[in-house]
Structure formats: C-alpha cells, structure tokens
Structure 1
Amino acid sequence: MFGTLPCELVRVAKDVAAEYGAELDVDAPMSRLTTLRVGGPAHAMLTCRSTDTLVSVVRALDAADVPLLILGGGSNLLVDDAGVDAVVVRVANDTIRFDGSVVAAEAGAVWDEVVARSVAAGLGGLECLSGIPGSAGATPVQNVGAYGVEVSSLLRRVQLLDRASGEVRWALPDELGLGYRTSTLKHTDTAVVLAVEFDATEDGLSAPLRYRELAAALGAEEGERQPAAQVRETVLRLRAGKGMVLDDTDHDTWSAGSFFTNPVVPDERLPEVLAAISARVGDAPVPRFPADGGTKLSAGWLIERAGFEKGHPGPGSAARLSTKHTLALTNRGSAVAGDVLALAREVRAGVQDVFGVRLEPEPVTVGCAV
C-alpha cells in the first residue's frame, strides 16, 4: 500500500475532477468494479469518459506525485480487502470506429462490443475473441487470446500515454514484447493505453480455425475459414458452457477467467516434470504444445491431476473452483479477496508439490500477492 492519507487523495482528486471534467466517487467499493466482485474501497475514483480527459487527469496526478491505479473493465484484477490507497482512474472512453478493414476502439470500449460490432460490419478476424470480458485497452496488455487466436496476430498499433514524458504516441506491435498472455505493458505503470487498432478482413470470414474443439463444433477442418458470425455464435456457446461469459445469475462467471496461465516448462526440466506426471497418472497422454523457451502444459489439466476437482473445496465455501472447469476461481456470492487468495495458494501449492510445476496467476493483484 502507498501510505498516502485518504483525505489528501480525495482533496487532490476533487481538484483534478473539477479542472478536467472527470467524475469523482469517494470510497468507491472495488467489489462493484471487478468481475471477481471482491476488493475494498478506493478512497477516490475519477471516471474519464473522453481520451482528452483521461490524458489530462493522468498528467495532473503524476505531476502532483499522487499514486494512481488505472482501471479498465476490472476483469483481470484482484484487489486486496483493505482497498486501494491511491486514486483510481477509471478508463471510460468508449468510441468504436471502422475504416475499411481497420477496427479502431478507444481503451474504455467493452471488448465484446468491439468484436460484435466488427462482425456485424462484415469484418472477420476478431470472432474467436468473442465473450472475453473487459475493455479494449486491456487486450494488448495481456495479449488476450482464445480458441487459437491472439491479439498479437491482429494488432495494428496502440496509442499510449507515456507517463514519464507526458507524450501521446502510437506504438507498433513489435515495440510491445507481445508473448503468451504478456507484453511490456503488463506489470508496469510506465504507460497508459488510450486506444487500439486491429487489422481485420473484409470478406466476412473468420481467421483460420486453429483450435480443435472449435473446428469440431463447427463441423469444419482445422485451418478452414468459416463465416465470422457463425464462429462468434459458436465461441459464445462454448464459453458459456464453461462459465466464461459474464452472467449475474451464474456464480461460475464471478471470476477473473482463467486464474493461472499455462506453464511453459524449460526443455531441460521437461523430462523431470513428465516423470512426475507419469508417476501420478500413468501413461495417459499429456497435453503439451511447443512454446518459446520450452513446452507449454495445460494448467487446468495439471490442476485436475493434482487432485483438485471442479467445485473444490465444495458447497458452502465462499470461494470455489468453477463447477464447469478447474482453471477459474470463483466467488460464490460472499467471498472476499482473502478467500480467493487462500484458494489460489492452495491450488498452486498442490500442483507444485505433485508435479514440480509452479503456476503463475494471470490477474493483476493490487495490495496482495498469491
């Protein structure tokens, strides 16, 4: 935590809101702003509904040396129960535009709306990323991916505010260090994403199908291209079946999505890890895929083979693994951040003990650590 007095944060935030037209909320509960629905209060939150306001607010707070937290859709965020000892800057600029095959979205646009509107406009390429919660600005930060498509394969450029210089500029993908669920923008506060642009196709067909489950659901062969609208509909159905489409009435969706990234095991450690897996499960085939730096294993598969079942630790628990798949940690309605953290630590320790593989959390943590 930053140690700044709440009254000082509120005073500065009030002045900045009045000068630049941001909306001020005091003691805003972060549990209402994250898809995990946990987290204590933000002493002051400034909602910025235009890019100009967002840039001015961040520049002013940085000039005043005020700690701040940039908040998008809250879908990949775990905030401590003590709250946020900083000014939360909520990114709410949300314009979406199309220029030929270019899809342009301001950072605060709801990501699934970007995908839906691109498909409705007859564009293809983004449809496999349907149903992913959060904002457009977060997609290059995480290098969001699903069903065989990653943002890195579509990204044209990203508009950034450099917090050190105050400069606004466009950055090309090769500047961002895009990798598996990561980029140079992740776990750093040096820049704020203001807008993103993607290259789609104008023929209305999907990206080549690279994910076996999706191709099978479509009755297609891997590598084929199908109508983007049909692929989007199928992706949404598959995700909903796994509790991965937000639904207020379904506690399996009160999550941060996949809580752990699929681990990449270095080549020199792979025989040791495979031997541990064999000792546990016998000669069952192990899902594994080539990856930069080694071999990627399935985190969900490892979690299940380490002894954690769907719904663990069972009814009555405030935080549980999803009843639909083991990779999501869910809030059953009364959980606090401490409950989610305890479950995450239990699962990670179990996989480490059994297979010698350390799982890394995907959500960004604020004021806490797994």
Structure 2
Amino acid sequence: MQVRRDVRLADLTTLAVGGPIERLVEVADATELVAAVREADEAGTPLLLLGGGSNIVAPDEGWPGDVVLVRSRGIERDGDSLVVQAGHDWDELVAHTVANELAGMEALSGIPGSTGATPIQNVGAYGQEVAQTITAVRIYDRVEKAERVLTPAECGFAYRDSRLKRDPARFVVLEVTFGLHAGRMSRPVGYAELARTLGVGIGEPAPLADVREAVIGLRRGKGMVWDPAEPDSRSAGSFFTNPIVPSHQAVEGCPSWPAGDGRVKLSAAWLVQHAGFGRGTRDGRVGTSSKHSLALTTEEGATAAELLAFAGRVIATVEEQFGVTLEREPTAVRP
C-alpha cells in the first residue's frame, strides 16, 4: 500500500479535470483495498474509490480525504470462466479473452478503465454489455462491514445501470467472475454498424480477432480509444446515455430501437447533433469532440464547472427542442 499527498484528480482521470487530493492510497490487491476502505470508514474520512478514472467528472475543489486508487491485477481461469481482480485493465482483459479464444466480450474492446467498474456501470457497446457474461461479483459491503458475493440478479443490472451504481457508497467491487464461451468465433453480432464493418449479417458470428480489430477501428474513428496524444480522447467516452422513452414519444427522424414494454431507445448522438451541438462545437476550453458529438472533451486548463455547464446547456436544449431529457453517463463526483 502506497500513500502520496502530491497528486491532483486531473492527473488520474481521462477528462483531466479535478483538484488536489488530501491523501492518495494506492492498493495492490483485494486485501489492501478492504483495509484501506475500513481505515477510512473507521476514521470517518471522506472516501473516493478510483480505477481507471475514465467515467467520472472530478471536482475542481479536489478531495478532502482519501482517494483509494485500485491497482489490483490478475486473471484466473476455471474452464470457460474468468475470475478477474477489480483493478485489472479492462481492455487488457478483453485482449486476453480474444487471444485465448473465449467469446462474450470481444465487442467491448477499446474501452478504457478497470474491470471492477464494469458491473457498476453495466458497461456496453456495439451490441454487448457485461451483464450478459457476469456470473458473480465479489464485493465488500461497507454497511455490513463484510465481504460477500452478489449474483447477477442481486446486482440489478439495467441499461448502463446496476444496484452497485445506485448505492455507490455501500459496495466496493473486489473481483468479477465472467462466464464465456470457448471457440474462435464471436457471439452473434448484434450491432448494425459493426456487422457492416465485418461484412456479416445481424445475428451472425465472426472471428474473435476480426471483431476486436473492427471495434477498435470504429472507436478510434470516434476518438474513443484512450491515447494521450489524441486530443479527442480527452473525454469520458459517450457523455450521455441513449434515452429510453414510451413509443409515442419517439422523435421524428431520430434513429430508434425497440426497448421492450412499449418503449424505444433513441439515439442520444442524433439528439445532441440536431439540437445544434454537432462535432467540434466549442465553448471556451470544453465542447463536443471533433469526431463524435456524443463525446465531450476538455482542453488544457479546463474545469469541471465549465464542462458540466456545457453539458447542462446540451441537456436543456435537447429537452426544449425534442421533449427528451438526456442523462449523463459519467458520474459527477462531489466532496
């Protein structure tokens, strides 16, 4: 366990905003993670858990307590299941599954962040989401002060949501178990853009390596593969989730997909762009990516306040023009 006091949140997040940290605690395994959390809780110290820092808007005023940086690593295989430590780099895990011919998360290639964050957000892209493969999540319960294992049902997965996300102050993810499928072919491709890129039909499989390569190419073209040299990757990926609305509230011209129970999922990117915030729309040091209107990016010296104000204007304009309320995907952290 390493402790530092000379770090800013901006140094640890892909949006590169956020002020000074009172105390940074870097942990290397689940035992150290639980110990760090218990220490902070017992002392009544404000606690922020941080993995890859790719899905948060960190506060400009910094953090007046402990920031625990989760750096636990490790993958254990049991048949077609993988038990993965929370701090393990997500894309490294996906690359590992493709190299070892295990299908189920290949379309989630190129997503920055740590494995432990994926069940919280129910991370998804290109027709896959982690809820389709997660079989167990080992957590530390800060209320019960004990470790336990949650089943998928207990995780309460929903679109870009989970019970873990809805109660972030309670659950600390220690490791995640994934049930995958052995073979060199992917799971059925369920996303039209990816299917076209691969030259297959919707519902058909493709070689795992081809799917990974295609997804990374598509993401890179949208500035959504983290690269310190790429200004458009200075983001949190998609800043807004695709809104799900009753079918009668569908917006004319906006791409939509069935979402069950008489509802449809609308394209947030279309709504943002047609509300006047197309690619490359800037307001000072923040704005939309030059490659994709759904990603908000920052420039050197930008603040969280500037970014959230811009996002607020996007939300208000979309609601005014289309009667649809967008929701932020990244979490705006408050001290």
TM-score, normalising length: structure 2 = 0.96
CA distance in 1, matches of 2:220, 2:61: 32
User: Which residue in the other structure is 1:193 paired with?
Assistant: 173
- Which letter does structure 2 place at the counterpart of 1:54? L
Residues 1:174 and 2:153 aligned together? yes
Offset of 1:186 from its aligned partner? 0.5
Looking at structure 2, the residues matched to 321 and 334 of structure 1 have their Cα atoms a distance apart, in angstroms, of 16
Distance 2:46 2:287 in 1: 33
Q: Deviations 1:171-216 (Å, cap 9, x if unpaired)? A: 1101011000000001421110000011111112211100011111
Residue type matched to 2:39 in 1? A
Alignment-derived partner of residue 65 in structure 1: 44
38-47 vs 63-72, greater mean Cα deviation = 63-72
Q: Does 1:290 align with 2:227?
A: no
Corresponding residue number in structure 2 for 1:4: none
Residue 86 of structure 1: CA displacement? 2.3
Task: Provide the rounded CA distance (Å) in 2 between the counterparts of 1:133 and 1:327.
Answer: 16
Counterpart in the other structure of 1:125:
104
| Alignment counterpart, residue 310 of structure 1, candidates 272, 276, 279 | 279
Amino acid at match of 1:124: A
| Cα deviation, residue 335, structure 1 | 1.5
- Taking the aligned partners of 1:295 and 1:220, their CA distance within structure 2 comes to 25
Query: Aligned equivalents of 1:224 and 1:236: distance in 2?
Result: 19
Preserved CA contact (<8 Å) 1:244 1:253: yes
In the alignment, structure 1 residue 43 sits paired with structure 2 residue 15? no
What secondary structure is seen at the aligned counterpart in 2 of 1:243? coil
| Pair 1:333 & 2:300 matched | yes
Is the aligned partner of 1:244 residue 2:211? no
CA displacement at 1:97 relative to structure 2:
2.2
Corresponding residue to 2:32 among 32, 53, 56 = 53
1:255 aligns to 2:219 (yes or no)? no
Structure 1 position 292, deviation (Å) = 4.9
Partner of 1:219: 199
Structure 1 counterpart SS, 2:163: coil
Q: How does 1:9-158 map to 2 (within 5 A)?
A: 22-158=1-137
Contact 1:125–1:205 (CA<8 Å) still a contact in 2?
no
SS at match of 1:90: strand
Name the CA distance, whole Å, in 2 between partners of 1:175 and 1:110. 25
Residue 332 (structure 1) shift: 2.6
Note the alpha carbon deviations across 1:148-174, whole angstroms, 9 max, x for none: 001111111101001112211111101
Deviation at 1:27, TM superposition (A): 4.0
**Paired residues of 1:36 and 1:254 also in contact (CA < 8 A):** yes
Gaps of 5+ in 2: none
Q: Provide the TM-score with structure 1 as the length reference.
A: 0.87
**Equivalence for 2:333:** 366
Q: Distance in 2 between matches of 1:242 and 1:323?
A: 8
* C-alpha contact (below 8 Å) 1:103/1:118 kept by paired residues: no
Q: How many residues align?
A: 333
Across the aligned residues of Structure 1 and Structure 2, the Cα RMSD in angstroms comes to: 1.4
Work out the CA distance in 2 between the residues paired with 1:85 and 1:353.
37
The one-letter amino acid of 1:320's match is G
2:268 corresponding residue in structure 1? 299
| Cα distance in structure 2, aligned partners of 1:358 and 1:89 | 33
C-alpha distance in 2 between matches for 1:263 and 1:326:
15
Whether 1:352 aligns to 2:319 is: yes
Distance 1:224 1:291 in 2: 21
The structure having more radius of gyration, on CA atoms, is 1
Partners of 1:44 and 1:86 within 8 A in 2: yes
Unaligned runs of 5+ in 1: 1-21, 279-283
